[in-house]
Structure 1
Amino acid sequence: MAGANPATPTTVAALSTFSPRPPPMQASGYEDSETLLAHRPAPSRSFLSGIISMASRRRFAVATCSLTAVSLLGLWFFGSLWAAGPKPVAVIEDEISTIPPIPINSSESSVAVVVDPLGPEFNLVGRPTKHFRDSLRPDRKYITSWISAGWTNDVMTYINLIYLGIITDRIPIIPMFTPSHIGGAVPPIDFGLVFDVPRLRTALGKPVLEWHQVKNRHSQELDEIGCWNTWEAVQEREAYPRRSQVPEHLKLDISYTKAPTWIKVIPHFEHDMHSSFWSLAALAFPEARSANLVPPLKSPQNHVLLPPDEQLLCYDYLYYVCANQPFEFEFDYSPAWRFVGQYMYWTPTIERLADQYVRRAIGAAEDHPTPPYIAIHVRRGDFKVWCDEDTTGCFASLPVIARRVEEVKVELRQRKGITVNHIIMTSDERNTTWWEDVKTLGWYPIDHSQTGELLGPWYPVLIDAAIQSLGAGFVGTDRSTMSMLARKRVESWSDGATRIFKWGKPDSDDH
């Protein structure tokens, strides 16, 4: 992400001119209730008297009152937001998600209530409960896992989880994101505040749930569960399951069963830790499960011994998983990307914020559309461990990156007839001289000087990731998973032009 770049500081007042607005209603085939009421022709009294019976009048009155109540609630809620001024995005979306529904008695109403058959309403017993098992339907099977890496790798882990759910015919339950990259004191953020889950479900044609829809996020009740321990089966340096903060947040007491070593893609190879999707999938079915049960480990709190759960299948870690070869996300055939990842779009709020930050960076006029741009991601901070003390000859220079930018410009012009004049730079580099050189090239940095204060610590990286993926073209850093996902998004979402520059020595990117 852009980190502490030397762009001109933005005041709170200036940022409030494009402060986050409540996200639009999810598309459901219905207009906003206020719009419906405004455009519905008013029926005449004589017409109603002629065709509506006494019982029908009662149903009509109940439906009208319900619609009016929804309208008044919406007017009050959004009016209060307008009057109170900008709020952090997480606060706004949390308030929207907790608006209580207007009760409508289906026996007395002719209003059709639309329920997503792929959502929690059809795939759970009801509202979130204190114990997760009380929410699970007995006629459904589920799958879950935990994250334990940097944020981009955690995104990839959840992509793998959803794909494994598809091939095992189980409903994935996605936990929250934990703040591995921004400090443990920062609260987690819901998966659904980052990615558009209803849109994902629709694209997949499969249910996708979040843990807060299953277990009440405020529950302090401890749940016992048995899970597969894949970590000890694929590496020998750590003699315990992969550690994660997620079970603690979910109040889970886990008894782990070590998975068989045949899940490992390259047997006995200490330098790789990948298992295969289908070897893990086999453990989801009765025959392979029963044939590979070994004595489980005691759970850390209640010291229970439980075999892997049959209804809620769970694995300790799914980052190192592939179909054919390790780190296959890099390749165009990657099934996890093709069947899941490319359909994980940002929420409308994240997309809107990314657009607003780009417009502010380039000084776009309010009455003009956002011009096409090329985004750059330069990752340097933690990559210094791969370089000598002098990183000058290790990291790619700005002229090397500029050459790749020109290649993207030429391809966009020749292949798509798009002329791009705006280049957006995102990076974790903190050297002010380097940022001055970026601006000398006519490229635009993203100013996050107020982002954390106004929106929260999660949003600098979320906004940067969205900016990188929503351009007409992209140039990124070799060996960075953040760059890799941005490249794949630009290619999948916009048919854009992309390049990745190599680094490590002065001639690494010669071509």
Structure 2
Amino acid sequence: MNRRPDEYLLAKNQRLDEYDDFESPFIPMFRAKPSAKDSQRSLRTIFIFLAGVSLLGFGTLLFKPSSYLDIQDAPAYSGIVNSQSYVQGPPTQRFRDNLRNDTKYVTSWISAGWTNDVMTYGNLIYLALITERIPIIGKFTPSHVDNSAPPFAFGEVIDVPRLTQAIGIPLLEWHEVKDSESQVLDDLGCWSVWETVQNEDPHPRGSPSLNWLKLDISWTRTPDWVKLTPPGIQDKHASFWSLATLGFPEARSNSLGLTNRPSPQHQVSLPPDDQVLCFDYLYYIGAQNAWEWESDYSPAWRYVGQHMHWNTSLERLADAHARRAMNVPVDEPTPPYIAIHIRHGDFRNHCNDIPLDQCFAPLSAIARRVSEVQEELRTQKGIEVTQVIMTSDERDPEWWSQVRALGWTWVDFAMERTEEIYGKWYPVFIDAVIQSNGAGFVGTHGSTMTTVARRRVESWRGGPTRTVRWGWPGADDH
């Protein structure tokens, strides 16, 4: 099967990004041999409405400090935005009872793989910036782990105080607004973007978050003009600023006559709420083009995403796992390393009639990319990096044996008993943190987990990155 690379990649991006990234890390049942041991830029905020000044100290150190990652000296933020000033008080049985009459909010929900959900929340927060509203963020739902895993709070993954100071606006989480144990079913009118931007599903985009939050939504279809691309182009993206206009009186009032769906349980028809601007799904959003998180100008990344640093406790937990994987002595700092993310898993479904050993990039191609990153670190930063940590959902023991033969290592989650001790979410979280903390990074083309990890390494570490192409024999030859 011969297909031009550019045609393949275009088709692949159209097929893959909606549900990427569902992968869970593979947990090899054998240990890798220990391998040889050896700024973030701050952007001006767009809108600032600071409320109150407080000092926040970070909690007890959980693990040995790491000089390479500099996580032992987490900034003490003065002038943190006090999000609690934007609710009436503790969470209430009905969410609206906790909202301030002089404040407007914006919210949306998630329904994809975890990395896409992180990007969706980044898009939501950027939309809050340009509409001058307070974002309300839901919990992460277990789309990529066992459904028995409970939802996971945004602030237990992302350092919210650091984020709010960087972007200059408050951020609320749904559990701070409405009691998580509430059984009250709240009515709410919202906009459905999903019905407008695609023709395959004539319904609003569903989300398990609505069940957790006990929300009964009456949906109104957004106007056709919110679509980012012309009607004849098969693409699902809406425009940030087109959606933003619906948060202001003129565009909202001019669009209230559009198709409205009664709420599924109470069967009430409500116009889109003015105080709580809400949309069904904000993953497919762009300012200028589709898939903007891939581009260096991406406003959602520049003004929000790069400021979504890890919660300090999660950062330290991942660092401890990485140190053990690299066999670092207790009294030595964490050395710089190159992180790799190789996604196979469900990508095999896109190989069609190409044998997997020809569809996926061979380890020799990945090693070549690692060597490029090592050379760039050597020549541009004067750093000799020999440690390499692999993260992947590949399950073939022979493949992992070849990884071991290259002198690379990985986190053995089975031996660490990570799920047993911390929960089912943590292998994915730890992999993501380890990827972002690399001095350099090599990832898989077409994976959003790679996209976000690459952006973090470039922004947070100033590190070189590469993506490995795949899909046909010799795809990454260069």
The normalised TM-score by structure 1 is: 0.79
Match of residue 14 from structure 2:
none
Kindly report which structure 2 residues correspond to 1:27-176, keeping only aligned pairs within 5 A, or say none.
Answer: 29=55, 118-176=81-139
Aligned AA for 2:406? L
Superposition deviation, residue 268 in structure 1:
2.1
Specify whether residues 31 and 130 from structure 1 end up closer, same or farther in structure 2 by C-alpha distance, changes over 3 A only. closer
Of residues 439, 453, 461 in structure 2, which corresponds to 1:486? 453
Match of residue 467 from structure 1:
434
Q: CA-to-partner distance for each residue in 1:403-445, whole Å, 9 max, x for gaps?
A: 0000000000111111101000000000000001000000001
Q: CA-to-partner distance for each residue in 1:291-317, whole Å, 9 max, x for gaps?
A: 111242100010001000000100000
Match of residue 304 from structure 2:
340
**Cα distance in 2 for residues equivalent to 1:254 and 1:115:** 39
Match of residue 433 from structure 1:
398
The answer to whether residue 219 in structure 2 is matched with residue 256 in structure 1 is yes
Match of residue 200 from structure 1:
163
Match of residue 211 from structure 1:
174
Cα pair 1:408 1:498 within 8 Å, conserved = yes
Cα pair 1:2 1:446 within 8 Å, conserved = no
Q: Which runs of 5+ in 1 are unaligned?
A: 10-26, 33-73, 83-113
Superposition deviation, residue 184 in structure 1:
2.1
Superposition deviation, residue 166 in structure 1:
0.2
Match of residue 8 from structure 1:
31
**Cα distance in 1 for residues equivalent to 2:229 and 2:354:** 35
Superposition deviation, residue 30 in structure 1:
6.9
Kindly report which structure 2 residues correspond to 1:95-494, keeping only aligned pairs within 5 A, or say none.
Answer: 118-269=81-232, 271-293=234-256, 294-387=258-351, 388=353, 390-449=355-414, 450-494=417-461
**Cα distance in 2 for residues equivalent to 1:270 and 1:249:** 35
Cα pair 1:2 1:447 within 8 Å, conserved = no
Specify whether residues 243 and 503 from structure 1 end up closer, same or farther in structure 2 by C-alpha distance, changes over 3 A only. same
Match of residue 52 from structure 1:
none
Cα pair 1:374 1:423 within 8 Å, conserved = yes
- Tell me the number of residue pairs that the alignment of Structure 1 and Structure 2 aligns: 417
Superposition deviation, residue 31 in structure 1:
6.7
Aligned AA for 2:268? V
Match of residue 14 from structure 1:
none
Cα pair 1:6 1:435 within 8 Å, conserved = no
Where 1:444 maps in the other structure, the secondary structure is coil
Superposition deviation, residue 5 in structure 1:
1.6
The normalised TM-score by structure 2 is: 0.84
Where 2:357 maps in the other structure, the secondary structure is coil
| Structure 1 stretch displaced more, 350-359 or 114-123 | 114-123
Cα pair 2:54 2:78 within 8 Å, conserved = no
Q: CA-to-partner distance for each residue in 1:69-109, whole Å, 9 max, x for gaps?
A: xxxxx9xxx9xxx9xxxxxxxxxxxxxxxxxxxxxxxxxxx
Specify whether residues 218 and 152 from structure 1 end up closer, same or farther in structure 2 by C-alpha distance, changes over 3 A only. same
Q: CA-to-partner distance for each residue in 1:124-145, whole Å, 9 max, x for gaps?
A: 1111111111111111100000
Where 1:445 maps in the other structure, the secondary structure is coil
Aligned AA for 2:225? W
Q: Percent identity among equivalent residues?
A: 56
Match of residue 17 from structure 1:
none
Where 2:120 maps in the other structure, the secondary structure is helix
Aligned AA for 2:476? D
Q: CA-to-partner distance for each residue in 1:160-210, whole Å, 9 max, x for gaps?
A: 000000000000000000001113222110001110111100111111110
Superposition deviation, residue 506 in structure 1:
1.6
Superposition deviation, residue 115 in structure 1:
10
Aligned AA for 1:4? I
Cα pair 1:235 1:273 within 8 Å, conserved = yes
Where 2:260 maps in the other structure, the secondary structure is coil
Cα pair 1:378 1:476 within 8 Å, conserved = yes
Match of residue 463 from structure 2:
496
Superposition deviation, residue 120 in structure 1:
3.0
Aligned AA for 1:448? F
**Cα distance in 2 for residues equivalent to 1:190 and 1:483:** 23
Point out the structure with max Rg over C-alpha. 1
Q: Which runs of 5+ in 2 are unaligned?
A: 1-23, 33-52, 63-76
CA RMSD of aligned residues (A): 2.0
**Cα distance in 1 for residues equivalent to 2:448 and 2:312:** 23
**Cα distance in 1 for residues equivalent to 2:390 and 2:80:** 42
